[in-house]
Structure 1
Amino acid sequence: MTNATSVGLGVIILIGLGIDATQFDWSGTLFLARKLTDMIEWMAFWR
């Protein structure tokens, strides 16, 4: 991954978080965080 690609990806992520914060009151980020914790617990079970 080049520097330009990583910077572009970081900017896209920050824009998405900003939109979620201002328009949707963090509901999308909270949903993804909850699903990520569920996935981590599920993977820890199979470890």
Structure 2
Amino acid sequence: MTNSIAIVLALVIAGAMLVDLYAYGADHMIYLGKKLFELIEWVAFWR
């Protein structure tokens, strides 16, 4: 992956998150963040 592709991908993801936060608020983003941390801990257990 080149740097330009990574930058564009990061901007697209950040833009999608901003639109989502504007449309629906931050409550479900906090929930998804907590679930992401649980997933990371679970995957680290199996490592």
- Smaller-chain TM-score range? 0.5 to 0.7
Partner residue of 1:21? 21
CA–CA distance in 2 between the matches of 1:40 and 1:10? 20
CA–CA distance in 2 between the matches of 1:6 and 1:34? 25
Corresponding pairs, count: 47
Partner residue of 1:7? 7
Listed as ranges, the gaps of 5+ residues in structure 1 are none
TM-score (norm 1): 0.67
RMSD: 1.8
Partner residue of 1:38? 38
TM-score (norm 2): 0.67
